[in-house]
Amino acid sequence: MTTGLGATGLGTTGSGVRPAYLPILALPHWGVIGAFVDAAVAASLAGTGRSERDLYAAATPMVLWAWRARGIELENQTVFRRSIVEQFIHLGMPGAAPGSQATLRSTLWRMTEILNPDDIHEKHRPIGRRNPTAPYSESEIAELYSWANTQRTPGRSRNALILLVLGLGTGLATRELLEVRHSDVSLGHTLSGAPAASIVTWSDRPRVVPVRPEWTRTLHSVLADTPCAAYAGNADAGFSGGSDRWLFRPGRTGTSDGQVTDFLTRARTHVDVRPSRMRTTWLLLHLKENLPAAELLRISGLRNYAALDILTPLLPFAPDLENI
């Protein structure tokens, strides 16, 4: 749901006093949520350092979204929670600019600290899920790219770059990236002439995954520079033109869980190269860019929104691609 924030002079609060700021889309529902929003703003005004207008501008769309889209009871302990704030920012405001999202998040977190302090100090409840893997920072991604380009042989460099493309560019899990073949790759260009690419994965979650723009040029370059040499049983040899060859370490005769680990062990590097961290980074970048959650579930192979919810606490640490 897009909130469509807009100032208006229409409508009154539940107490009969016109609010300082009221999103237009909340007007039809103000009779239900108005009194709750009024109380939340009044209780937060002294302790947040924000103006009444700013508090209304932040609280009203989130309360409306929580009540209307999520069916949450209008109580401080259920609405003003950091997990709900993050879900609203990234699922309820898909078209908002990053700066606007950051401002709203900051205001709503301050309101949460006042209205539901137990949520701030509450330890993570046991919900049967492990903590998400930390993403790579922009400097770590640059280090990974440098690591891939400085392998001891051209064949190992190409495989290292392919590993980064499949991990950071398409967010594939380890088993999935091992099963990608040359015939699963589609190369092309956008209408503006920029390189584009997508990859099909045929594992237990079949789907087409577009390669992120910052990695498409690397994929085009690597595949354009692949020698048509014989493999001679060497998993790390250069690529051949066979469309049925594996994309990563094409000399393999099959797939097994240890093939990525074996490749990295042979590199003898201190750099932390992990497909799980690449996938987390890929997911967070799409969340940061406000890709609709339903589309992200489709291209990631995730089956429910809960899998995205556990990543939202990591969003402040998502890399800034402008600095890479």
Write the pLDDT tens digit of every residue in 96-130.
Answer: 777 778 888 889 989 999 999 888 655 433 333 45
6 within some domain: no
Do 175 and 313 have their domain in common? Answer: yes
Res 227: pLDDT: 58
127 within some domain: no
What are 178's two structure tokens? 């091992």
pLDDT tens for 172-205 read 999 999 999 999 999 998 898 888 999 999 987 8
Res 234: pLDDT: 46
Residue ending a domain, among 88, 121, 154, is 121
Res 18: pLDDT: 52
The type of residue at 184 is D
Residues 6 or more apart from 262 whose CB is under 8 A from it?
A: none
Do 103 and 226 have their domain in common? Answer: no
Say whether pLDDT at 1 is over 70. no
133 within some domain: no
130 within some domain: no
Average pLDDT over residues 4-28: 52
| Closest among 84, 96, 82, 68 to 2, alpha carbons compared | 96
What are 323's two structure tokens? 């600095």
| Closest among 132, 137, 133, 108 to 120, alpha carbons compared | 108
Q: Rounded distance, CA 191 to CA 318, Å?
A: 29
Q: What is the mean pLDDT of the chain?
A: 81
Residues of the chain with pLDDT > 70, as a percent, come to: 80
Q: In what order do the strands lie in the sheet with 185-189?
A: 185-189, 195-201, 207-210
CA angle 99, 101, 104 (to 5 degrees): 110
Do 109 and 209 have their domain in common? Answer: no
Q: Rounded distance, CA 169 to CA 159, Å?
A: 14
Res 231: pLDDT: 34
Residue ending a domain, among 95, 121, 147, is 121
Average pLDDT over residues 21-28: 69
Report yes or no: 197 and 216 within 8 Å, Cβ to Cβ. yes
Do 102 and 143 have their domain in common? Answer: no
173 within some domain: yes
Of the pLDDT bands very low, low, confident and very high (cuts 50, 70, 90), residue 31 is: confident
- Is 283 or 12 the better-scoring residue by pLDDT? 283
pLDDT tens for 279-312 read 999 999 999 888 888 899 999 999 887 788 788 7
Do 159 and 109 have their domain in common? Answer: no
Domain count, the chain: 2
The CATH number given to whatever domain includes residue 191 is 1.10.443
- Is 36 or 314 the better-scoring residue by pLDDT? 36
Say whether pLDDT at 324 is over 80. no
Say whether pLDDT at 317 is over 60. yes
Res 253: pLDDT: 82
Do 106 and 166 have their domain in common? Answer: no
Q: The domain containing residue 41 runs over which residues?
A: 24-121
Res 159: pLDDT: 95
- Is 313 or 78 the better-scoring residue by pLDDT? 78
Res 165: pLDDT: 98
Do 159 and 251 have their domain in common? Answer: yes
Q: Rounded distance, CA 42 to CA 52, Å?
A: 8
What are 89's two structure tokens? 């920012």
Do 307 and 213 have their domain in common? Answer: yes
Residue ending a domain, among 121, 146, 166, is 121
Res 318: pLDDT: 67
Do 304 and 213 have their domain in common? Answer: yes
Say whether pLDDT at 67 is over 80. yes
Of the pLDDT bands very low, low, confident and very high (cuts 50, 70, 90), residue 166 is: very high
Report yes or no: 25 and 65 within 8 Å, Cβ to Cβ. no
Say whether pLDDT at 266 is over 60. yes
pLDDT tens for 198-229 read 999 998 789 999 999 999 999 999 998 865 43
Do 179 and 303 have their domain in common? Answer: yes
CA angle 81, 84, 88 (to 5 degrees): 140
Report yes or no: 81 and 20 within 8 Å, Cβ to Cβ. no
pLDDT tens for 124-164 read 333 334 567 789 999 999 999 999 999 999 999 999 999 99
Do 293 and 145 have their domain in common? Answer: yes
CA atoms within 13 A on the CB side of 118: 5
111 within some domain: yes
Supply the DSSP string of 187-215, one letter for each residue.
EEE-TTS-EEEEEEE-SSS-EEEEPPHHH
Do 117 and 234 have their domain in common? Answer: no
3 within some domain: no
241 within some domain: yes
